[in-house]
Structure 1
Amino acid sequence: MHGLQGLVARALDVALIVGGATAAAQIRYDDLLRHHTDAAFIAFATALAISLFPVFGIYQSWRGRSMLRLAGQISLAWVVVQACALVLMFSLHRTDLISRLWFAYWTGLTGGALIVSRLTVHAALGRVRQAGLNLRRVAVVGQGAHCQRMVRNIGAAPSSGFRASAAYDICPETGLASLGMPVFDDLTKFARHVRSEGVQELWLTLPLSEERTILKVVQEFRDDLVNIRFMPDVSGLALFDSGMIDLIGVPAINLVASPLSSHALGKKEMFDRVFAAAALLALAPLLMGIAAAVKLSSPGPVIFRQRRKGADGKVFQIYKFRTMHVHSEERGVVSQARRGDSRITRVGAFLRRTSLDELPQFFNVLSGDMSVVGPRPHAIEHDELYRKVVSGYMHRYRVKPGITGWAQVNGFRGETDRIEKMQGRVEHDLYYLRNWSFALDMRIVAATIWRGFRHTNAY
């Protein structure tokens, strides 16, 4: 967003911030003239917004990008602005002049107004683009299914403002001629068409192995004012969604790496610690009662400890209430509990059916070894077995293991006496990693509370 558009966007944001503060004061005080609103605070917040919003990409072009993500970026940027302004006022010893209720109203009203204004502008531009105005013509270079998918995506999102107008098929036998637009198999003719039609975008939808073709195309258009974008086909290589990151100043594509960004991991970590602390405080009487019952049920310790693997394969001690009589096993062998297992105590059977034996793992969450939601950790001996026979098994450990998970709320709990059961559990865990969101975590927590305390597979 440049020039006049950027100036108008900034002016609108200033008006919304000042207007939100005024509206909040009107709601808080009823009579605005009789109550003092700190103009310095509003001025600081406005200046910080103009300075920090570009850092969050608020004034960049969002053509073809997710509006849900834009709303999240605006919310985060505005909260950061308000937090910085508050710290500045605190350092100037002026926080005593600020009404907390007014501040809350202002933050909520302005944040909502900033989001609504962006979504309204985007919707209006979408209507204009669907009507055939404000378009950017796209020429696609590629082959096969990946290229066809990109062209279909362009056609399926007319409000994005992109229109596919030509294609250069580097492998004519793959069938791009059916795309319903001019398709060329000669680079010179393709380049002539791109220039004569005034195409603004050139998208290279090629596999990484086509380095020579990429260089030829870039060389051909090196003197043209056309945006050249590389959208590599890594579907056969990437385990998770392959995002582009900046690594020591160099762009890099994740093929097999942690599917959660550092920002997402930070949010997850914050939720885990707060939730675990609250759960331990709320459940303290229950924990003490269970501990007493376990101690009275049979000789032995109250807490069972076992070595498990955490994020990136780091080994930690997992905590559970002991549910079995104390027994010994051969070195390197861990026998899973089975239905009617004589090793399980009467109290232990109840704890396992209701999953109450897992409650001490909130201490693991609090110490940072586990997460509230994530793939369930298995005994290290089982890891060594299943990593060799179940595809994708070890990728479960790219994030912290959880007390509950997507596999568990979908029925994959208890004994894995067949490889198919473990394969199903792993497939659900990998689905969770590919589709993680805070909302999905909340859904899993709610499902665990609603139906997770009793399960026919838990014994």
Structure 2
Amino acid sequence: MCAFAVGDMKGVPPEKNGSGPEKKPLSPTLAEIASNGAPGKAYSPIVLAGLVRLVELLTLLGAGLFIHEIYVAANWGRSLDYYLVMPTMALSAIVALQSLGLYSTAAFRAPMRNGLKIAAAWSLVFVAALIVLFFFKLDDSFSRVWLLSWYVTGLALLAAERLALSLIVRMLTRQGKLDRRTVIVGGGELADPVLRDLAAQNDGDLQILGLFDDRTDKRSPDVVAGFPKLGTIDDLVEFARHTRIDLVIFALPISAEGRLLQMLRKLWVLPIDIRLAAHTNKLRFRPRSYSYIGNVPVIDVFDKPIADWDVVVKYVFDKIVGTICLLLLSPVMALVALAVKLDSPGPVLFKQVRHGFNNENIEVYKFRSMYVDKLDHSATKQVTRGDPRVTRVGRIIRKTSLDELPQLFNVVFKSNLSLVGPRPHAVVSRAADHLYDEVVDGYFARHRVKPGLTGWAQINGWRGETDTPEKIQKRVECDLYYIENWSIFLDVYILALTPFALIKAENAY
């Protein structure tokens, strides 16, 4: 059922990237960039624009309803016509503002410069409404005082909202929360025009950190268009583990297929957008084949698996459903905690370091299933059938996965786990005496999304002991299938099947 073979990479076979379980030290230059003001999580401009649309829609609609209630309804009662016209005009205003390009981050920063456009959009809606009312002879059906009051109030509220928004956006910009932290792969003559065009975009949110190139000869100088060469592709992979990188742009010709694929084999395991700059290539595609970063045409190679509104949807789903699960399962968790405490001396909960999103180390909670003096915090030795380290209660809760229930705290309170995703493996997990990343090429690609309590691999029977390379291979195949095909409906499907998968589990000890 795991119809994604490890190594497919959409046609590009993966390659070991040298990024083992532990972070490697960066060069002094990269370490300085990673530590000096490197922001954490960024905010999506797409989500920001969507929220602004919603706020402005509700603001305009609320203003119309408020004036209607205190003037029209108080004097003449309520009419269905008003309740049909108000949302129509409010929606039309949002469409007009969108058509004038007023829902970009650059527009949010400059409300004064775009003030006339905002006024024109709102005015255009009222002019169109008045024309419709006149030609359909409906002008006597609506209060002129209400229309004028709504127009003036709506315009004032839009102006005030945009001024407040500009302050918020400028603050987020100073904090680096809206920047797309970008690096260029490649150097020399091909990278020069790409960098100059990107740097010339004054209203853009690109923060270009520098270049990475495996070449060390004169074809790849140390500085291109004022931007420094920071290292090799291996350095870039490790750099992305230490700091946030949002976008990688390849400044290479399509004809350099071998070199391009070699680099992609190393970079595809990262949760970043990867683009190929197209304006340096002689081969021309149809216009719809390109996307644009400002005015620079690019070809999309890889996208973040879950981005923009998908992140919001998954986050809200995790919080709401996770909280419900925590409340419903709290009696079960209390009974398990009591059983663990009565069965053997020691703490009820056990924390273990595991791989999280983008290979970060996270601590996950579990009910203690081993004797205290035999606890294995690093999971250097997998639990096997009849393992003497496991307590009597531990055997039951491990078999039924009840020991994993405290990870709901990770989901609801710490947000370093999701309800559904690739299961977080211990940092030194092994299959047949080999680290997982030594057994499976492209293993770290499963860390492009947040790990989960359950996943596609678990409902397909690939849980428990991984004593052979084939077992971890199949598990990773399932994880990559999930990442490439994620939807909120897939999460619901996996959650619904998880209890049945636990009942028929055979290799969990």
TM-score (norm 1): 0.51
The amino acid across from 1:393 in the alignment is Y
Residues 1:357 and 2:357 aligned together? no
In structure 1, the residue matched to 2:505 is 455
In structure 1, the residue matched to 2:449 is 399
Q: Is the 8 A contact 1:365 1:371 kept in 2?
A: yes
The Cα of 1:276 is off from its aligned counterpart by 1.2
1:186-197 correspondence runs (5 A): none
Cα distance in 2 between the residues matched to 1:348 and 1:340 = 11
Residues 1:298 and 2:344 aligned together? yes
Cα distance in 1 between the residues matched to 2:255 and 2:502 = 45
Q: Is the 8 A contact 1:245 1:254 kept in 2?
A: yes
Larger RCO, structure (CA 8 Å, separation 6 or more): 2
Q: Deviations over 1:114-173 (max 9, x none)?
A: xxxxxxxxxxxxxxxxxxxxxxxxxxxxxxxxxxxxxxxxxxxxxxxxxxxxxxxxxxxx
In structure 1, the residue matched to 2:422 is 375
Change (3 A) 1:216 1:350: closer
297-306 vs 325-334, which deviates more? Answer: 325-334
Consecutive unaligned residues in structure 2, runs of 5 or more:
1-76, 104-149, 158-252, 258-276
Deviating above 2 A after TM superposition, structure 1's stretches of 4 or more consecutive aligned residues are 32-43, 45-57, 206-218, 227-231, 244-263, 327-333, 449-454
Consecutive unaligned residues in structure 1, runs of 5 or more:
1-31, 58-84, 93-205, 219-226, 232-243
Change (3 A) 1:53 1:449: farther
In structure 2, the residue matched to 1:438 is 488
Change (3 A) 1:424 1:50: same
Instruction: Give the secondary structure class of the aligned counterpart of 2:372.
Output: coil
Q: Deviations over 1:331-380 (max 9, x none)?
A: 96621111111222221111112111111111111211011110011111
The amino acid across from 1:43 in the alignment is M
Instruction: Give the secondary structure class of the aligned counterpart of 1:318.
Output: strand
The Cα of 1:35 is off from its aligned counterpart by 6.2
Cα distance in 2 between the residues matched to 1:229 and 1:209 = 22
The Cα of 1:55 is off from its aligned counterpart by 7.5
313-322 vs 279-288, which deviates more? Answer: 279-288
Instruction: Give the secondary structure class of the aligned counterpart of 2:429.
Output: helix
Cα distance in 1 between the residues matched to 2:377 and 2:408 = 28
Change (3 A) 1:54 1:259: farther
Q: Is the 8 A contact 1:276 1:372 kept in 2?
A: yes
**1:422 equivalent among 444, 448, 472:** 472
Q: What is the percent sequence identity of the aligned residues?
A: 41
Quote the RMSD (CA, aligned, Å): 3.7
Residues 1:280 and 2:326 aligned together? yes
Q: Is the 8 A contact 1:407 1:429 kept in 2?
A: yes
**2:371 equivalent among 325, 335, 338:** 325
The Cα of 1:265 is off from its aligned counterpart by 2.0
Cα distance in 2 between the residues matched to 1:440 and 1:381 = 30
Change (3 A) 1:50 1:337: same
330-339 vs 407-416, which deviates more? Answer: 330-339
Cα distance in 1 between the residues matched to 2:293 and 2:377 = 43
The Cα of 1:286 is off from its aligned counterpart by 1.6
1:253-264 correspondence runs (5 A): 253=299, 255=301, 258-264=304-310
**1:228 equivalent among 263, 286, 289:** 286
Size of the aligned set, in residue pairs, is 265
Instruction: Give the secondary structure class of the aligned counterpart of 1:381.
Output: coil
Q: Deviations over 1:371-410 (max 9, x none)?
A: 1110011111127811122111111111111100101100
In structure 1, the residue matched to 2:435 is 385
Change (3 A) 1:281 1:253: farther
The amino acid across from 1:413 in the alignment is R
